[in-house]
Amino acid sequence: MLVNNNSSRFRSALGESLEDYLEAILLLGAQKRPVRVKDIAHFLGVSRPSVVNALNQLKNKGLVRHEHYGDVELTIRGQNYATTIYQRHHLLEQFLHQVLGVSARIAAQDACRLEHALSPETARRLLGFVRRIGVK
């Protein structure tokens, strides 16, 4: 697993909520079907108007493509950014569950909160540590 930190320059401009939208679009898109506003709303447990508002912000930042009532797609920049967020989440979830012994449910919840605050340096060092001890 690689932790790509090239998109860290966007972190302060987006915030936790918009990062969650990017990660949701990435995960929904991995299911090989079009991503729709209603899918994102259901996935995140938010209203459709909230999704549309977030998508407009992400579109203005060049991270998604979305036409009114159309499918939602990540741009290359959006894909890179979302992948970084997802990798951090996965790394933290593995560490919390497999190394610290936190329950899988709590590890997933905590990883979701921690992924947004993790600096690139800490992510690299944590990844190195997890690899050294053989966590997969």
The amino acid present at 32, given as its one-letter code, is: K
Tell me the pTM. 0.82
pLDDT at position 131 is 87
- Residues 97, 103: contact at Cβ < 8 Å? yes
| H/E stretch holding 125 | helix 120-132
CATH of 10-80, one of 3.40.50.11740, 3.40.50.300, 2.60.40.10, 1.10.10.10: 1.10.10.10
For residue 8, pLDDT over 70 is answered with no
Structure confidence by residue, pLDDT tens digits, 43-101: 999 999 999 999 999 999 999 999 888 999 999 999 999 999 999 999 999 999 999 99
Helix axes 120-132, 76-94, angle to 10 degrees: 50
Average pLDDT, the chain: 88
Annotation: CATH topology of 87-132: Diphtheria Toxin Repressor; domain 2 (1.10.60)
